[in-house]
Structure 1
Amino acid sequence: MEHSGELGDVGRSETPVVEQKPTSGGFLAQMTSNPLFSAGFGLIGVGFGLTILRQGLNLGATALRRRLLVTLEIPSKDKSYLWFLQWMSQQTKKNARHLAVETSYKQHDNGSVSTTFSLVPGPGRHLFRWRGAWISVSRERDGKMMDLTTGSPFETITLTTLSSDRDVFTQLLNEAQKLALAKQEGKTVIYTSWGPEWRPFGMPRKRRLLDSVILDDGVSERIVRDVRDFIGNGKWYNERGIPYRRGYLLYGPPGSGKSSFIQALAGTLEYNICILNLSERGLTDDRLNHLLSNVPERSIMLLEDIDAAFQKRKASDEQGYQSMITFSGLLNALDGVASAEERIVFMTTNHAELLDQALVRPGRIDMKEYLGNATPSQIRRMFLRFYEGRTDLAELFVKKLRGKQVSTAALQGHFVYWKDKPEEAVENTHTLYE
């Protein structure tokens, strides 16, 4: 029995079981073997790699630009802005593809008008070579920001070149300034106020000769002598603690040559003129003080019809409207604590009797000159200026006008009308006073 039992155990066949332990790569292998997973993972990987590469390129390009390139910004409110545009128009006039037009006109004494058109680089990008350096120029307009004084959008010009050529910017601006000043050489620039700053009004005028404005005997000489003495004695004023400024009042009837003489005086002194209208809408005491304290160098400050501003102010006050500029504000701007030094102010009026004595006192108005209707001396000299050598007719012309009130402006108009016809000018003298 036992023997048979042993044989039974030996003869029983059993299949061995092998136990499989899970491996660490089993789950990853199954997931990667999934085609949907493989496709998504690949796309994510490629996208991530491209993003890193793009960021790296951008950072590298930025670093390279910072190291190799240099830029210069010129805003439209900077004085060099117009200088650069005019200069650049000379550099790119043959190759520029984006152009803008600047139109200017001038009205001559005879009433005719001449118009000029200047083509300057327009908004966009421009590339040119100057003195061996390549310069990229970008002119951009800000459509959201406007200059309220002119109604035009603010602009910025950006110049870019290699860092090694950065010195070319200084040379470029110096040349642009010289070109602008060369165009003004022999001319008088007329400035008017645009908001808180002075800007040229139209094209520079050809300097007017002093002897083209014929005043009564000795008047012109006295004013010129006094102005020259003031200009040449700044040290004398400073050593004595006297404010270095001078005020002049030219008064008399309309057409007596007040404004014309100031223009001729500025031309003789090689000065410019800043004209300020005290009746201008929106002019305040603060803005007046700022403008008079920031007059461009070598400029005469001109306040025309000084009496009219405050006559209009009184009229507006009677109607219930508050005037923007006050009389005390004008006085403080002329000689207050904050008033500017090295300043020449000319005022004109047709009615000196309407001016307040606080305005015409020394320190605000230091010299007064009356420019009246034409005197016999003025009539004679004006006739001979238009009809040189006709002394006989000049005396006859003076005789026919003796006792008549005729302005120098009316005389000039008469001579222009009878140009090259002195006999007819004498025969028709009666048209000047009838």
Structure 2
Amino acid sequence: MPFFHAGGAAVKRGLPIFDLPHFKAILLRQIQDLDLTHFGSLLAIASLLPAACRYIQRAWHDAATCVKRFFISSITIPAGDPINRSVTTWLLDNVIYPRNLRFHTARTELGRDVQDPGASLKKSQRSVAYLPHWESAWFWHEGRLFAISRSLDSFNAAMSDPSYDGIGGEEIKISSLGLQSEPIKEFVERCRQYAESKSQFYVIIYSRDRYGLSWKPKYRKPLRQLETVHFDDEVKTNLIADIRNYLDLRTRKLYQSRSMPYRRGYLFYGPPGTGKSSLSTAIAGEFGLDLYEVKVPSIKDDGELEQMFQEIPPRCIVLLEDIDAVWSAREQRIDAENGSAVTLSGLLNVLDGVGSQEGRVVILTTNKPERLDSALVRPGRIDFKVYMGNISRASAAQMFMRMFAPDLLGQNMVREHKKTRSSARSLESGDFLNEFVTLEQLKMLATQFADQIPENTFTPSQLQGFFQLHLNSAVRAAESIGAWVRREMSVKEEGEFDIC
């Protein structure tokens, strides 16, 4: 049979390159030549692998159990506890850095968009929050190896809470090599100090969760300066001095040495919009205290109220707002909607009864103090009363300065921009504060502003509403207040609703 060369290879003409019957014959002959004894040995070894794996797994588990039992200490922190949040905050900031965290849980923001306060008014999609999702972490701290694991069994329950931000909602376990748990306790204390240092610019406001089972952090508000709450300066000074004296450790020792209950109650009363709640928040920020909101009408009965107060820590502020809406003249008022059966005696018992806690600052607010029972406001329960009325001219001038004085710090920058055409257009349109007033001129404008406001006629919230319309110009605010006062006075005299 003839041959031909293709690329240097000799190929027999007329035969296919691949002969399938020939290949099958060769494969069958190789299978027949296999040493079945050797092949059976391999199968026997392979059959032992699952049993060997199970043995190794059990040996590893037993070894790990032995190490945990004799060489590892641990502390478990339940979900929702403030310590849990402190430890998790430290871990996220120092170990699981945000730039290295590759696992998240995405959820739609249910609250107000912080960057865009008007987002809730727009027909647009809500922003997405990416919460840290982690299960365990290993790290070195002060020369010791620690491990933190997070239980995700309660994750779904935590995610059902709209206020949950992904921190402190699941049970965590802190472990470390050693026979003593003291290093872990020291680490937890370090986390608490770290969390407190981070929260020194915020006030944490607690309220009961949707099921009424436990206290949850509801808001984290920036500190509010006492200067932003406008009422009588002398009363404000005496109030702050009284609270500072009460919180002093020496005062506590004096109370205890004389067998006196270490308690202090305050009543803030006055018309709506005079800053009673704002003053409570400012006091919490001034003294670095957490604030616990107690909404009595939403509490089921006296037993639930007592349980709530037992879970409140000793050093904090307990705020009971609009207490006049609950009882009047020793008569129990039962709300038809929520069926609250809390009695006046039940409230008095948690405030200063046998089982009441000491060391708290209790603040009651009311718009109608004449409706309060005398037993609730007697000395020993209410020790300091603060009337918060309509704003005075002196306070109006202070409010004017507070609104516009911060802009003086940025006037040098604005003066530089004035050289450009764009800032000149901004000056004409009044888009932002550009009068270049000095501090002395601003004081004169504040006096001019306050002289046009009747004494003790408007609430601070009303005046704040006026400032919201004139934050871009101190001069325009001083010029416009007269017309605003006349319009408000006419509406007030006629008793009509002001339609804008």
Mark yes or no: TM-score above 0.5. Answer: yes
> How far did residue 257 of structure 1 move?
1.4
Q: Does 1:92 align with 2:96?
A: yes
Matches within 5 A, 1:132-143: 135-142=146-153
Paired residue type of 1:386: M
Helix, strand or coil at the partner of 2:449: helix
Who is 1:172 aligned against?
187
Identity %: 30
Who is 2:432 aligned against?
none
For the 8 Å contact 1:85–1:121, the answer to whether it is kept is no
> How far did residue 126 of structure 1 move?
4.4
Q: Does 1:290 align with 2:294?
A: no
Who is 1:269 aligned against?
287
Who is 1:431 aligned against?
484
Q: Does 1:226 align with 2:220?
A: no
Change beyond 3 A, Cα 1:127–1:287: same
Who is 1:16 aligned against?
none
> How far did residue 411 of structure 1 move?
1.0
> How far did residue 54 of structure 1 move?
8.0
Who is 1:81 aligned against?
84
Helix, strand or coil at the partner of 2:297: coil
Change beyond 3 A, Cα 1:244–1:97: same
Stretch moving more, 100-109 or 253-262: 100-109
> How far did residue 214 of structure 1 move?
1.9
Paired residue type of 1:86: T
Q: Does 1:394 align with 2:446?
A: yes
Paired residue type of 1:264: A
Change beyond 3 A, Cα 1:53–1:330: closer
Change beyond 3 A, Cα 1:126–1:376: closer
> TM-score w.r.t. structure 1 length?
0.73
Who is 1:247 aligned against?
265
Superimposed CA distance per residue, residues 86-144 of structure 1 (whole angstroms, 9 cap, x where no aligned partner): 2222313365554446979778899568999675343x444555556555543223369
> How far did residue 236 of structure 1 move?
2.8
Change beyond 3 A, Cα 1:113–1:344: farther
Paired residue type of 2:255: Y
How many pairs were matched up? Answer: 385
Stretch moving more, 59-68 or 194-203: 59-68
> How far did residue 183 of structure 1 move?
0.9
> How far did residue 337 of structure 1 move?
1.5
Helix, strand or coil at the partner of 2:207: strand
The CA RMSD measured in Å over matched residues stands at 4.2
Which whole-Å CA distance do the structure 1 matches of 2:350 and 2:305 have between them?
A: 7
> How far did residue 360 of structure 1 move?
1.4
For the 8 Å contact 2:334–2:341, the answer to whether it is kept is no
Helix, strand or coil at the partner of 1:82: helix
For the 8 Å contact 1:101–1:120, the answer to whether it is kept is no
Which whole-Å CA distance do the structure 2 matches of 1:330 and 1:238 have between them?
A: 24
Change beyond 3 A, Cα 1:307–1:338: same
Which whole-Å CA distance do the structure 1 matches of 2:355 and 2:178 have between them?
A: 44
Q: Which fold has the larger relative contact order, with Cα–Cα distance below 8 Å and residues 6 or more apart in sequence?
A: 1
Change beyond 3 A, Cα 1:106–1:365: farther
> TM-score w.r.t. structure 2 length?
0.64
> How far did residue 367 of structure 1 move?
1.8
Stretch moving more, 237-246 or 64-73: 64-73
Helix, strand or coil at the partner of 2:341: coil
> How far did residue 253 of structure 1 move?
0.7
Q: Gaps spanning 5+ residues in structure 1: where?
A: 1-45
Paired residue type of 2:232: D
Change beyond 3 A, Cα 1:355–1:177: same
Q: Gaps spanning 5+ residues in structure 2: where?
A: 1-47, 121-126, 405-438, 492-500
Superimposed CA distance per residue, residues 385-419 of structure 1 (whole angstroms, 9 cap, x where no aligned partner): 33454344334433332267211111122123211
Paired residue type of 1:140: S
Helix, strand or coil at the partner of 2:458: coil
For the 8 Å contact 1:284–1:324, the answer to whether it is kept is yes
Stretch moving more, 413-422 or 151-160: 151-160
Helix, strand or coil at the partner of 1:302: strand
Change beyond 3 A, Cα 1:391–1:141: closer
Q: Does 1:405 align with 2:420?
A: no
Matches within 5 A, 1:184-223: 184-194=199-209, 195=212, 197-203=214-220, 205-223=221-239
Superimposed CA distance per residue, residues 172-197 of structure 1 (whole angstroms, 9 cap, x where no aligned partner): 32332232122112432222234454
Which whole-Å CA distance do the structure 2 matches of 1:210 and 1:306 have between them?
A: 23
Who is 2:69 aligned against?
66
Q: Does 1:304 align with 2:321?
A: yes
Which whole-Å CA distance do the structure 2 matches of 1:52 and 1:415 have between them?
A: 75
> How far did residue 320 of structure 1 move?
9.5
Write 1 or 2 for the structure with the bigger share of strand. 1
Superimposed CA distance per residue, residues 39-97 of structure 1 (whole angstroms, 9 cap, x where no aligned partner): xxxxxxx9xx9999789846566445534444443321433222222222231336555
